Amino acid sequence: MHSEDTIAAIATAPGEGSISIVRMSGPDSLAIASKILRCAKPPLTERPSNTIVHGFVLDQGRDVDEVLVLVMRAPHTYTGEDVVELQGHGGTTSARRILRCALQAGARPAEPGEFTRRAFLNGRLDLVQAEAVLDLVRSSSDRAAEIALQQLEGRLSQILNSIYDNLVTVAADLAAAMDFPEDELHPQIGVNSTNTLKIVKKYIDRLLATWNEGRILRNGAMVVISGLANVGKSTLLNTLLEYDRAIVSPIPGTTRDFIEENFCLHGIPIRLVDTAGLRPSDCELEREGVRRAREQMLKADLHLYVLDASQPLSPVDAANIADRPREKCVVVLNKADLGLRVAPKDLPGHDAVVTSLLEKKGLDQLRMLMGAKIEISEMPALGEAGSHIAISERHRSLLLKAASEVEAALAMLNSGKEEDQFLASETIRTAVEYLALIIGRVYHDSLLDEIFSRFCIGK
Amino acid sequence: MHSEDTIAAIATAPGEGSISIVRMSGPDSLAIASKILRCAKPPLTERPSNTIVHGFVLDQGRDVDEVLVLVMRAPHTYTGEDVVELQGHGGTTSARRILRCALQAGARPAEPGEFTRRAFLNGRLDLVQAEAVLDLVRSSSDRAAEIALQQLEGRLSQILNSIYDNLVTVAADLAAAMDFPEDELHPQIGVNSTNTLKIVKKYIDRLLATWNEGRILRNGAMVVISGLANVGKSTLLNTLLEYDRAIVSPIPGTTRDFIEENFCLHGIPIRLVDTAGLRPSDCELEREGVRRAREQMLKADLHLYVLDASQPLSPVDAANIADRPREKCVVVLNKADLGLRVAPKDLPGHDAVVTSLLEKKGLDQLRMLMGAKIEISEMPALGEAGSHIAISERHRSLLLKAASEVEAALAMLNSGKEEDQFLASETIRTAVEYLALIIGRVYHDSLLDEIFSRFCIGK
């Protein structure tokens, strides 16, 4: 499985930091590092695993950066191969120059996710764990990070493997029963298989139920601010973000493009979108803004509809509010400081909050209501106590297919016909294949390409 | 000098990366790390220096992240103290959670630049080297990075120390000569001192000459794009940046706020500013844009004045061009694809380039001209061959003071009067104090606060 070439990439986030890391993995990591480094003796290639060496990276005799060199030898490394990390001074320029030296000395630029891909190919992680690495890097809340780490540590893999093993056993039992049709255990095998399949089905359903939480934790809940022009939408965005992101002016139509920003509300990552004011306009730019706003609104997990409550409820506002799904909408009755001519009771059946963004009033209530509306259902108990799982879209689509195979197999077993029992065994094997694809017991390069291309380079 | 408390901070840049680092420094680094880690035996506190240990960070018994632990023991560490680095999975959430654990276990959040400040206080770096750490992190071009690294390695310190030592010797010689006025070496001391001071003065002047390069490499050269509305300013910005940063539309006044972006031109970092179109406007927002544009223009190292060359030269354009300093201005004659009614010869004494941004013509010529206009003078030879130095604003202001003291001392020595010789010795001591402030042989907490507050946290 071991790769023949050695890959290199910058492993720290770009931008201003104190330390940046260039990481190499592959059989020539140590040799390449030796070529570009000036260190104290003994030479790098003779250093034991898990040691740190001080040195300088050289480019044609000139110092490029002062570094700490981390020597980690196969097989107990992230990738399972020889790994060298060069820790240089922070900033992008140093890291970029060190990487250039490594490439000139014979390393190949790593593809996105290639370090983790190698970890998978070398059996250090299964596919579900490898995916968790990306989730952990991308996690924008404690809750998301915890779920990702548990997945990385193998909690989800354990359940999937248990489902896999149970399905394999059932398929084998059914096949064996057919080989010895006169066996007296025969009826018992049917009952056992049915029971196991029912439990498996329950487990799959429980996993499927975690998908929505996974989706929100991975992608963030999309909250779209809309409303007529000049009612305070951008002010609401700035207030929720707690800094001035959007230009605010008394001139209607100030926000032309839609603005998207991220923040966390009660541990839930939120993608907050401020749309252009919904007013008909002769201006080409503004019309484009309104069109984009409508596009965003269709994808919303929650709508914040803002209106000027110091004015009587306009027919346009009333129509817009009626247009939004009630369970996904909070109406913000803003400008309460100018008097209140629309009250929550005027919008029966809708959740509404009276605010004065100018005086920063009503915000706690708004945040609480937003949290309650987005709040994801509590996790169904799964595996050992305290474990927390949230499957991804990829897991879901394969689990749905597996579930329908399991259901079909159950129906076949219920029919009591012998030929159906044979078919059930085959059907279960199909479900097993879907499980194998999730865990990565079976994979195609195209699947790996798809999964790892979403990683950053250096991971 | 050693600190009594242990500091901790995230040391990698925020954002999506593969690896993030939480760094601790201080006497309790190892003890604190042991409290929050689950690792294989032997315990962390018994591990030798410069070793890497695999483990898990724990928060109240729950795993927070899988980490590599770097153990580095005083005194041969960055800060000169015990240092522990926890390398976790990338992304901000993991790092933030690991840091929280370290703080709960007794570490104190590091102030900006506090690791480097400790390195300075523990004698691992002088002040000029410490400043180079920040320059290296911030460097946005190879050239800037090389200069910063040479400064970190001590090239500038070496010259400053040599100036310092020479001045101390001269001051001591002069003082000794006064103590023994009848000494026959007296006249010779005067001549020697004068010669040394002249050489010192020459060195200081050479250092001062590197300031402009330093300023541009540290802050970037500011290039301001201006011109009337709808001549292609935003298109020029996008073209130079090689991606679509600004919204471009046929509607005049599309760019309201000014846009600033960075890129590198021939190794020189450039801050490119696109201003709002300079047209009188009734719109409050646009008027504000024009006001801000004028503000930016005063700070420019180079102006790119764009006009529509398919139309005859307008009096407003002619006046605007005349308004800009010739040596700092390039006129971009755009829209050449629509015909050319203004040619470079119509703007005698100005550097002008014919372009068609639409057809991507004339761009190489424009880039070359920009580079030539900004190009910083070649470095005066200083110290050993190949060394490259660029002083900072702080160095400059202290060196200017030192230079004027040295000049004053030279004048005093020339006067031939004995009391002036005494004054010269005192004057040189003042120059020595300025040098001491640059290198950090003498410092006040307020100076350190000022220098290190510009660092990021974790450095």
Token pair of A379, please? Answer: 């996790």
Tens digit of each residue's pLDDT (9 = 90 or more) over B50-60? 999 999 999 98
Once rounded to an integer, what is the mean pLDDT over residues B86-111? 93
**Closest listed residue to residue A351, CA positions, set A304, A312, A309, A301:** A304
Inter-chain contact A97–B142, Cβ cutoff 8 Å? yes
Q: How confident is the model at residue B37 (pLDDT cuts 50, 70, 90)?
A: very high
Where are the CATH 1.20.120.430 domain residues in chain B?
Answer: 132-210+383-440
Residue from the list B23, B91, B456 with its beta carbon closest to the beta carbon of A136: B91
DSSP string, A296-321: HHTT-SEEEEEEETTSPPPHHHHHHH
Token pair of B277, please? Answer: 């179109």
Alpha carbon A164 to chain centroid distance? 24
Which residues in chain B touch residue A247, judged by CB atoms under 8 angstroms apart? 256-257, 285
CA–CA separation, A305 vs B401, rounded Å? 62
Q: Is the pLDDT of residue B72 over 70?
A: yes
Instruction: Measure in Å the smallest separation between the Cα of B226 and chain A Cα atoms.
Output: 22
Which residues in chain A touch residue B283, judged by CB atoms under 8 angstroms apart? 251
Inter-chain contact A18–B459, Cβ cutoff 8 Å? yes
Does CATH number 3.40.50.300 belong to domain A220-374?
yes
Inter-chain contact A249–B285, Cβ cutoff 8 Å? yes
Helix, strand, coil share (%) of chain A residues, nearest 5: 50, 20, 35
Q: Closest residue of B to A73, CA-based?
A: B52
Inter-chain contact B89–A144, Cβ cutoff 8 Å? no
Once rounded to an integer, what is the mean pLDDT over residues A209-227? 86
A114-128, B190-204, B357-371: range with highest mean pLDDT: A114-128
Q: Is the pLDDT of residue B103 over 70?
A: yes
Give pLDDT, residue B421. 83
Fill in the amino acid letter for B176: A
Alpha carbon B201 to chain centroid distance? 25
Instruction: Measure in Å the smallest separation between the Cα of A274 and chain B Cα atoms.
Output: 18
Quickly count: other Cβ atoms within 10 Å of residue A440's Cβ.
20
Average of per-residue pLDDT values in chain B: 87
| Of residues A219 and B97, more confidently modeled | B97
Residue from the list B23, B89, B146 with its beta carbon closest to the beta carbon of A137: B89
Residue with tokens 């398919």: B310
DSSP string, A32-97: HHHHHEEEPSSPGGGSPTTEEEEEEEEETTEEEEEEEEEEE-TTSSSSSS-EEEEEEESSHHHHHH
A91-95, A170-174, B68-72, B259-263: range with highest mean pLDDT: B68-72
Inter-chain contact A139–B93, Cβ cutoff 8 Å? yes
Residue from the list A52, A89, A150 with its beta carbon closest to the beta carbon of B70: A52
Which residues sit opposite B226 in a β-bridge?
B305
Token pair of A122, please? Answer: 């070398």
Are B329 and B303 contacting, i.e. CB atoms less than 8 angstroms apart?
yes
In our burial notation (b when 16+ CB lie closer than 10 A, e otherwise), range A293-307 reads beebbeebbbbbbbb
**Closest listed residue to residue B4, CA positions, set B90, B82, B104, B85:** B82
Q: Closest residue of B to A140, CA-based?
A: B93
Residue from the list A13, A17, A256 with its beta carbon closest to the beta carbon of B16: A13
Once rounded to an integer, what is the mean pLDDT over residues A219-239? 88
Q: How confident is the model at residue B8 (pLDDT cuts 50, 70, 90)?
A: very high
Instruction: Measure in Å the smallest separation between the Cα of A402 and chain B Cα atoms.
Output: 31
Phi, psi of A363 (to 5 degrees): -75, -40
Q: Is the pLDDT of residue A239 over 80?
A: yes
CA–CA separation, A261 vs A243, rounded Å? 11
Q: How confident is the model at residue B415 (pLDDT cuts 50, 70, 90)?
A: confident
Instruction: Measure in Å the smallest separation between the Cα of B21 and chain A Cα atoms.
Output: 8
Q: Closest residue of B to A96, CA-based?
A: B142
Q: Is the pLDDT of residue B214 over 90?
A: no
Token pair of B358, please? Answer: 């639409």
Beta-carbon contacts of A295 under 8 Å, excluding residues fewer than 6 positions away, are none
The total number of residues shown for chain A amounts to 459
DSSP B307: E
Once rounded to an integer, what is the mean pLDDT over residues A312-328? 91
Q: Where are the beta strands (DSSP E) in B50-164?
A: 51-59, 62-72, 83-89, 108-109
Q: Closest residue of A to B14, CA-based?
A: A13
Fold adopted by A132-210+383-440: Four Helix Bundle (Hemerythrin (Met), subunit A) (1.20.120)
CA distances to A111, A118, A219 from A449, rounded to whole Å, are 10, 12, 21
Percent of chain A with pLDDT over 70: 88
Tens digit of each residue's pLDDT (9 = 90 or more) over B285-298? 666 666 776 777 78
Fold adopted by A7-125: Gyrase A; domain 2 (3.30.1360)
Which residues in chain B touch residue A20, judged by CB atoms under 8 angstroms apart? 12-13
Residue A428's SS3 state is helix
CA–CA separation, B257 vs B208, rounded Å? 37
Where are the CATH 3.40.50.300 domain residues in chain B?
Answer: 220-374
CA–CA separation, A37 vs A48, rounded Å? 17
**Closest listed residue to residue B27, CA positions, set B50, B51, B1:** B1
CA–CA separation, A387 vs A231, rounded Å? 45
Q: What is the longest distance spanned by two Cα atoms in chain A? A: 87
Which residues in chain B touch residue A249, judged by CB atoms under 8 angstroms apart? 284-285
Token pair of B385, please? Answer: 């061959």
Tens digit of each residue's pLDDT (9 = 90 or more) over A55-106? 999 998 889 999 999 999 999 999 999 999 999 987 788 999 999 999 999 9
Where are the CATH 3.30.1360.120 domain residues in chain B?
Answer: 7-125
Report how many Cβ contacts below 8 Å link chain A to chain B.
191
Q: Closest residue of A to B247, CA-based?
A: A257
Q: Is the pLDDT of residue B130 over 50?
A: yes
Q: Closest residue of A to B48, CA-based?
A: A51
Which residues in chain A touch residue B140, judged by CB atoms under 8 angstroms apart? 92-93
**Closest listed residue to residue B219, CA positions, set B163, B269, B293:** B269
Residue B304's SS3 state is strand
Which residues in chain B touch residue A257, judged by CB atoms under 8 angstroms apart? 247
Inter-chain contact A17–B11, Cβ cutoff 8 Å? yes
DSSP string, B174-219: HHHHHHSTT-TTHHHHHHHHHHHHHHHHHHHHHHHHTHHHHHHHHH
CA–CA separation, B402 vs B424, rounded Å? 13
Mutation pick from B50, B93, B234 vs chain A, by most beta carbons of A within 10 Å, is B93
Which residues in chain A touch residue B149, judged by CB atoms under 8 angstroms apart? 63-66
Q: How confident is the model at residue A219 (pLDDT cuts 50, 70, 90)?
A: confident
Which residues in chain A touch residue B90, judged by CB atoms under 8 angstroms apart? 11-13, 136-137, 456, 459
Residue from the list A9, A92, A456 with its beta carbon closest to the beta carbon of B16: A456
Q: Is the pLDDT of residue A391 over 70?
A: yes
Residue from the list A13, A144, A146 with its beta carbon closest to the beta carbon of B15: A13
| Rg (alpha carbons) of chain A, rounded to whole number | 29
Inter-chain contact B18–A16, Cβ cutoff 8 Å? no
Which residues in chain B touch residue A77, judged by CB atoms under 8 angstroms apart? none
Instruction: Measure in Å the smallest separation between the Cα of B72 and chain A Cα atoms.
Output: 8
Residue from the list B52, B63, B152 with its beta carbon closest to the beta carbon of A70: B52
Q: Closest residue of B to A458, CA-based?
A: B18
Residue A347's SS3 state is coil
Give pLDDT, residue B277. 58
Q: Is the pLDDT of residue A387 over 80?
A: no
Tens digit of each residue's pLDDT (9 = 90 or more) over B242-260? 766 665 655 555 555 567 7
| Rg (alpha carbons) of chain B, rounded to whole number | 29
Mutation pick from A49, A118, A149 vs chain B, by most beta carbons of B within 10 Å, is A149
CA–CA separation, B255 vs A127, rounded Å? 47
Inter-chain contact A91–B136, Cβ cutoff 8 Å? yes
Tens digit of each residue's pLDDT (9 = 90 or more) over A10-51? 999 888 889 999 999 999 999 999 999 999 999 999 999 999
Sign of CA dihedral B143, B148, B152, B155: positive
Inter-chain contact A12–B19, Cβ cutoff 8 Å? yes
Average of per-residue pLDDT values in chain A: 87
Q: Closest residue of A to B67, CA-based?
A: A78
Q: Is the pLDDT of residue A285 over 80?
A: no
